[in-house]
Structure 1
């Protein structure tokens, strides 16, 4: 692993200094003075010569010349903010020296925010926020990074040089400087052999299987013991928080032995912001795991909290080696680097022109903690350089293509290593999606019947990726903590649903038939993956051939064009083409840019007929898939004495993947098709839809969702468990006249599924310790038109300026966010306030939030993903502005649930919880001060119970809100 950026070693080899680039550093800046200033850039040489560039000239330099920048694409977009025609300029050219690339090469897997300030902090360089200082810092950063490669302590300089050589052959702009820094080993090693350089798999350690851990004990954790463990975790010098101690004691009740099967010990707990619930539940969970030699699964909804939990566990295990042994982060297979896919991509890197990005991935893979490419230590900006499907899809196994022990890298596989660690870990940090997906598939036989579905119907991705681990026994997952418990309903809705769509059925075809000759497409078909397992078994060979032939009825490559042209091919495309016409005919505003949906009834005869034809085609496909699985099971039994371990693993994994598609996925689709023309089962909601992305049709299909998805969640996850904690800061829906809070608990229990259990859950509530009356203000602005984007943008501008940054703007629609961003960028940047935006900036949401957290005067615009699960303590977040009341979108599914859960009261509950969650982002510590502003004058008084009762909601004009903000936040 490379030196960390904080390494201060000055022990360099006695050779010439590395070649520094003869290039100016380019940073976005306002140029000119006073009212005549406009957006452009500063170009600063290493000697400090400054050149002001107009936006047009700066973009030309980026496209043509050798310049030093941080994140070229992001830099170009910020330079072009004031231009009327942003499309008239080329993307940054190949000569651009991106310091993020150099940092990722020298310090792989080390964190670095993709901004000049982020780079300075990562390298511990001093800089101010002025453009001139930032530009000079870029020169210093380049010198520091290149010099680091010369250090005697820099590990594996020979291997580093081999990667650099391959990248140099591809024309990497940093190659001259890097090769000069590594010149002594390059000279000694000579040109790497063919295939060398990116073959990181040769340097990774192998994992080893260990004996099963066995069932855990059943010794309880008492309330006093939980309090004592918490005191150890927070330390003797920490501030004493009685609410946190009470929370730990309350959650300890979930870690006792259950009295009867199907009656788990469940605690639902609302812990207000500032309680410290994370360490509160880690205390009893870790004590139970230690005492009983068992595993507790900590599940989150967002990756932000998953990362935060990982950091908190360092308090429990300060020794990194012990932490590595006793904790593990578990995600779905689609999150991890697949070494086989990487090897294939690396072999084609020179031909694809992607060798630089592949080289950086190889550097990261060797240094990575666990190979997690989504939310782990993988640089998020690097995904864009990989191209296609968000970049990562070419390197991960997203659709069950794993060949297991047939893979030459199986013993070094990141995924297999994480799975095996999870079987022996004390604490597994997972997410709701993975926990529910695994539970759903374990319960599939009990919950799914083809004609009368107790639907655990999952989509192709769930069925494909849940085959990533062998059954570990119910006892391995008997204790859970669901943090962000207010998202259980939404997570269950996603996990326990079925989508018969063009993309899902086409994905099943690709899983069976492979890429079918598509150039540049990765895809190993069923014959490539398991053909050798069926050789010599005539029945299995015939079934494999039959399955491949039957899959031709599913959508083939190019289906989108054929559906659009009205020229479908095959049973599935014919059904989907008629479905598409049905949606266009029934939906409102079918010519608009947004996704469309339509109720199924009344249904035309042609759709019924094509549905029957597709049902027959799916039946023909399921039968041979099941037959292959059956033959593999027979071999596992008949040849038990002779099969080696690796072959048994492959055969069992293949059989499970086939069974899940033949017995779960395809029957769920057939059930939906068979129900067309008949009333939908009472527990479900069916509809047709056309999904659009950027105005382009991306998918078309039929959907089936539970009206109450907590029913299968309770059956698959809650009932089999022994103990469960469901925690959140926003579980209860408090009403203004709800003195005893019973109504609030009732809604919490409905949304978490505990009402479906025979034994009631225990409740716990710990109020936030903050003085909201002194720390917060709430304004509802009554004189801004909610339909006039110019007025809305003006309001955001004046409020953000009054706060001096540290402001989060929340929107209920992406198109309004983009329109306001367009109007805000120039005036805020002119005032020295950086503006970042989800759905606009070429950065993922987590990175945007990290930048916002690090820059005190930044502003951030976002939607739901920014509203939920974001932790920005301190002065970096001192204002939240909502553009509209966040009512739920009245789509077909929501309308069905509104009927089931109380009509308008259901709308109110969801909206109050969203407001409560948003307000909870504002005050995160006793020292915080913040202003919450709603720009929608139509906020009903009945919804204001979402806010703390000791804060007065003031309905004022915009001018009063601006003045009140400035006065409250001054100093």
Structure 2
């Protein structure tokens, strides 16, 4: 370690920086700064050799390793230091992002970035040195323990806070990790009364909107018009089963978020009830959370009135954290990761690991097992039997949501909870807002589908029997561990539990994939899966290719039907005791109502709900799927067999069942029981050119057609001048099957715009091919290039980097487009490699026949183009160019673009010239 010698040791912290070179990697070369101050430019292979040898200082080791095309190597990652000193704080995981976070100017080149890294480290260590003594004590205990496990930054942190030598803190290492002991307990409150039914008037909505915007805000007539229109969703219904449903399309720039928060907040206050606002993307959840600061500027007040609610699998589980810490004796190397997680757990607002204040890049650096893997992703919660129940992040969110007035959730949680008959206390919200309403169809498709696959059935076995062979975790014994004390007083319940544990062994055990692939299956489920695999291979035109395979369930191969019958019978032997256990628990709740304490009641109710969701619902669905094999699939569904692959490797196999129209169960389970529902988006309607047809398409895609009462339609156009602010080009002379031509087009267009470009692709292979070809040219032009499926970063992190670097370019698949919300100059060019037609798989084939044939294909393509184009202009002074590299773009799809925008069919050279000219040369 090298130390900066302070002028006055009594007042200045002792800054110790590892005596290692700083490494910054670009797309084609790297820069190294030695401890002696020598700056060297290296080829990537040279940099890789030195990195493996010298343990460099860098930012985001996995991303640097990907650029150097080398295996993981030891490094001092500055992001780890940042996460330790500023837990639950945001920064872009780049040198420029870190520089901005600590108050330094953004370095302009790799040569500037290397010395900037040293100054970033100094500023972070000075920050640690000036922390309060109590905070330094927590740092000291953790840093010492992490240092014993090999954390390179430990000596620097300890020196900065005044700890020298082998300080006597050994006994405090475990205490530093036991963060649950310092978390506040969650308070309990009496149940909330049912909300009232007082309507909200347009005048009230406009008045609240004015308050939210503040006295100096510019008046926006479209936003006020929208707020007035959507108050129809906040009127009481007149008849049971006929909710007030409003479909509202608000063009980009209208300000629909505050537009619906205004009437929603008025209704919630007047009626003392909760409005649930559901989104599809994490990005919009974060945006909503920020916008709600206007409603509740006082953080303490906001903590009571506003809750961001997610599924249990999104939150840090304190019991999982404790078990991981208990296992450190077997693997002390995990101390570093758990130390950083402990730092975050004490600082986090709500324990949300997905989209909250948890840095997404920390998962890239520490790995999923010690980050996202600490959530309850397998449904193993023991509820009030857990020692951490009163401090649990999940329970805190659940209890706060019962009292909140605005609950921000996601589509999936709302739909799954409604399918289960209600929220945590079997209560259903009476008012919903579904923002990003164009995704209601996809969210419902996921929520109401069933999958009889190896992965799903093996997960159920694990949930019931525990992690067989793993005795290191307190919940490794599965359902027996979670339920044995609850069934001890009921012989019927105890007998049912034993039958469940016995019957569950027909599900796939550990290493099932190997046995199925080798043709040596064990048990009824594996035998069925092995025959399904045979049918897929027999019917697929290219079974040895790298991509996932599928085939119809019709005309089963010999033996498959018999295997299905045997499996259906075996699942019946599992279903019966599952029902019996639920019935026995329900009887105990009734018979012992006067004697059971609140904790026991809650555990029984939670266990019953878990049994229903995790076991009974899928087992019942699987039996129905198996029973229909060899017969005609029920007309509301489509069934098929599939083999899923990742990078050519088989990962799952089985039978799938989806609703042909998933908005039917959505309408019946979510919308119909409600009083009022608002479904809103900037892209609800199709752009076919026929307004009535477009509204009809919106009603089909949202399930409005399945309701007794008609939906209220509202449309507020965008205030933006799209003809003046945007250009659209369809390039006619690039062969989309020639990747050299496609890559050249991306390269020249990205250079013409000077960066700020989003490249969208319909296939990962095409994205990777283009990235490889254009990276050198963009590097020469000093334009940063980032790519999904290439950079080794979470997509949300890539979008954050793209947003924060004005001249960067980002390549992603078409699925990335909804996560990109980048106002300003950072996104000024969008390039699509081809028309985004829907994938012609078995599910789409069935829906295409049901929803209108080619018109259905056109609708999906138009909506995707519409959504991609909508990324360009997010505020009044944005300007953007949209380019489609597909000469086969049909004229009938041009309705995807706003009225008045001229779509020009041009050659690549002209598109490049026009793009350069549009952005001022």
Instruction: Normalising by structure 1, report the TM-score.
Output: 0.92
Displacement, 1:949? Answer: 2.0
Alignment partner of 1:765 is 2:692: no
Equivalent residue of 2:352, what SS?
Answer: coil
Aligned equivalents of 2:613 and 2:299: distance in 1? 38
Alignment partner for residue 870 of structure 1, among 807, 820, 844? 820
Aligned to 1:359: 339
Aligned equivalents of 1:684 and 1:154: distance in 2? 63
Aligned to 1:304: 283
Given that 2:318 and 2:392 are in contact with CA atoms closer than 8 Å, whether structure 1 keeps it comes out as: yes
Alignment partner for residue 903 of structure 1, among 824, 831, 853? 853
Aligned equivalents of 2:595 and 2:166: distance in 1? 52
Listed one character per residue, the Cα deviations across residues 386-409 of structure 1 (whole Å, up to 9, x for unaligned) are 4356x5443111121001111110
Displacement, 1:135? Answer: 1.3
Given that 1:165 and 1:197 are in contact with CA atoms closer than 8 Å, whether structure 2 keeps it comes out as: no
Alignment partner for residue 363 of structure 2, among 383, 389, 398? 383
Listed one character per residue, the Cα deviations across residues 573-622 of structure 1 (whole Å, up to 9, x for unaligned) are 00110011011111221111111110111123411111111111111111
Q: Summarize the alignment of residues 222-233 of structure 1 with structure 2, pairs less than 5 Å apart.
A: 222-233=201-212
Alignment partner of 1:575 is 2:528: yes
Alignment partner of 1:639 is 2:620: no
Aligned to 1:271: 250
Displacement, 1:12? Answer: 11
Displacement, 1:46? Answer: 6.0
Aligned to 1:725: 678
Equivalent residue of 1:195, what SS?
Answer: helix
Given that 2:128 and 2:136 are in contact with CA atoms closer than 8 Å, whether structure 1 keeps it comes out as: yes
Given that 1:104 and 1:360 are in contact with CA atoms closer than 8 Å, whether structure 2 keeps it comes out as: yes
Displacement, 1:519? Answer: 8.3
Aligned to 2:4: none
Q: Summarize the alignment of residues 250-261 of structure 1 with structure 2, pairs less than 5 Å apart.
A: 250-261=229-240
Displacement, 1:54? Answer: 2.4
**Number of residue equivalences:** 913
Displacement, 1:77? Answer: 2.4
Aligned to 1:517: 469
Alignment partner of 1:40 is 2:29: yes
Given that 1:200 and 1:362 are in contact with CA atoms closer than 8 Å, whether structure 2 keeps it comes out as: yes
Given that 1:733 and 1:748 are in contact with CA atoms closer than 8 Å, whether structure 2 keeps it comes out as: yes
Aligned equivalents of 1:139 and 1:609: distance in 2? 68
Equivalent residue of 2:129, what SS?
Answer: coil
In 2 relative to 1, CA 550–155 (structure 1 residues): closer, same or farther, beyond 3 Å?
same
Displacement, 1:632? Answer: 2.0
In 2 relative to 1, CA 350–276 (structure 1 residues): closer, same or farther, beyond 3 Å?
farther
Aligned equivalents of 1:876 and 1:943: distance in 2? 27
Aligned equivalents of 2:104 and 2:153: distance in 1? 21
Listed one character per residue, the Cα deviations across residues 83-110 of structure 1 (whole Å, up to 9, x for unaligned) are xxx3xx33221xx111100000000000
Given that 2:363 and 2:372 are in contact with CA atoms closer than 8 Å, whether structure 1 keeps it comes out as: no
Alignment partner of 1:746 is 2:746: no
Aligned equivalents of 1:305 and 1:780: distance in 2? 30
Aligned to 1:83: none
Aligned equivalents of 1:252 and 1:483: distance in 2? 15
Q: Compute the RMSD of aligned alpha carbons.
A: 1.9
Aligned equivalents of 1:186 and 1:425: distance in 2? 51
Displacement, 1:523? Answer: 3.7
Aligned equivalents of 2:366 and 2:117: distance in 1? 25
Alignment partner of 1:323 is 2:302: yes
Displacement, 1:423? Answer: 0.7
Aligned equivalents of 1:752 and 1:284: distance in 2? 22
Alignment partner for residue 404 of structure 1, among 380, 383, 392? 383
Aligned to 1:779: 729
Displacement, 1:40? Answer: 2.2
Given that 1:12 and 1:152 are in contact with CA atoms closer than 8 Å, whether structure 2 keeps it comes out as: no
Alignment partner of 1:131 is 2:110: yes
Displacement, 1:199? Answer: 0.7
Aligned equivalents of 2:343 and 2:747: distance in 1? 43
Aligned equivalents of 1:409 and 1:189: distance in 2? 30
Deviates more, 1:130-139 or 1:152-161: 152-161
Displacement, 1:187? Answer: 8.4
Instruction: Normalising by structure 2, report the TM-score.
Output: 0.96
Q: Summarize the alignment of residues 133-532 of structure 1 with structure 2, pairs less than 5 Å apart.
A: 133-153=112-132, 155-184=134-163, 190-193=169-172, 195-352=174-331, 353-387=333-367, 392-442=371-421, 470-474=424-428, 477-518=429-470, 523-532=476-485
Given that 1:423 and 1:472 are in contact with CA atoms closer than 8 Å, whether structure 2 keeps it comes out as: no
Alignment partner for residue 45 of structure 2, among 42, 51, 56? 56
Equivalent residue of 2:918, what SS?
Answer: helix
In 2 relative to 1, CA 100–628 (structure 1 residues): closer, same or farther, beyond 3 Å?
same
Given that 2:275 and 2:432 are in contact with CA atoms closer than 8 Å, whether structure 1 keeps it comes out as: yes
Alignment partner for residue 25 of structure 2, among 25, 28, 42? 28
Given that 2:209 and 2:262 are in contact with CA atoms closer than 8 Å, whether structure 1 keeps it comes out as: yes
Aligned to 1:552: 505
Aligned to 1:91: 72
Given that 2:528 and 2:567 are in contact with CA atoms closer than 8 Å, whether structure 1 keeps it comes out as: yes
Given that 1:357 and 1:382 are in contact with CA atoms closer than 8 Å, whether structure 2 keeps it comes out as: no
Point out 4+ residue stretches in structure 1 off by more than 6 angstroms.
10-13, 185-189, 519-522
Aligned to 1:455: none
In 2 relative to 1, CA 962–15 (structure 1 residues): closer, same or farther, beyond 3 Å?
closer
Aligned to 1:449: none
Aligned to 2:659: 706
Listed one character per residue, the Cα deviations across residues 165-205 of structure 1 (whole Å, up to 9, x for unaligned) are 21111110101111112335998873234632211111111
Equivalent residue of 2:330, what SS?
Answer: helix
Displacement, 1:241? Answer: 1.3
Given that 1:13 and 1:151 are in contact with CA atoms closer than 8 Å, whether structure 2 keeps it comes out as: no
Equivalent residue of 1:74, what SS?
Answer: helix
Displacement, 1:53? Answer: 2.3
Aligned equivalents of 1:768 and 1:706: distance in 2? 34
Given that 2:490 and 2:588 are in contact with CA atoms closer than 8 Å, whether structure 1 keeps it comes out as: no
Aligned equivalents of 1:196 and 1:347: distance in 2? 12
Listed one character per residue, the Cα deviations across residues 431-457 of structure 1 (whole Å, up to 9, x for unaligned) are 0000000011118xxxxxxxxxxxxxx
Displacement, 1:45? Answer: 4.2
Displacement, 1:141? Answer: 1.1
Alignment partner of 1:677 is 2:630: yes
Aligned to 2:515: 562
Equivalent residue of 1:769, what SS?
Answer: coil
Given that 1:836 and 1:861 are in contact with CA atoms closer than 8 Å, whether structure 2 keeps it comes out as: yes
Aligned equivalents of 1:414 and 1:593: distance in 2? 41
In 2 relative to 1, CA 350–356 (structure 1 residues): closer, same or farther, beyond 3 Å?
farther
Aligned to 1:4: none
Aligned to 1:70: 59
Equivalent residue of 1:481, what SS?
Answer: strand
Q: Summarize the alignment of residues 788-827 of structure 1 with structure 2, pairs less than 5 Å apart.
A: 788-827=738-777
In 2 relative to 1, CA 113–155 (structure 1 residues): closer, same or farther, beyond 3 Å?
farther
Given that 2:200 and 2:266 are in contact with CA atoms closer than 8 Å, whether structure 1 keeps it comes out as: yes
Deviates more, 1:825-834 or 1:791-800: 825-834
Deviates more, 1:934-943 or 1:55-64: 55-64
Aligned equivalents of 1:832 and 1:779: distance in 2? 26
Deviates more, 1:21-30 or 1:283-292: 21-30
Displacement, 1:16? Answer: 5.0
Displacement, 1:320? Answer: 1.2
Aligned to 2:887: 937
Aligned equivalents of 1:325 and 1:133: distance in 2? 46
Displacement, 1:341? Answer: 0.6
Given that 1:112 and 1:118 are in contact with CA atoms closer than 8 Å, whether structure 2 keeps it comes out as: yes
Aligned equivalents of 1:598 and 1:281: distance in 2? 45
Given that 1:24 and 1:43 are in contact with CA atoms closer than 8 Å, whether structure 2 keeps it comes out as: yes
**Structure 1 residue runs without a partner (length 5+):** 1-9, 31-38, 81-85, 444-468
Given that 1:506 and 1:556 are in contact with CA atoms closer than 8 Å, whether structure 2 keeps it comes out as: yes
Alignment partner for residue 85 of structure 2, among 106, 126, 139? 106
Aligned equivalents of 1:12 and 1:946: distance in 2? 66
Displacement, 1:537? Answer: 3.5
Aligned equivalents of 2:510 and 2:484: distance in 1? 23
Aligned to 1:914: 864
Alignment partner for residue 17 of structure 1, among 9, 14, 21? 14
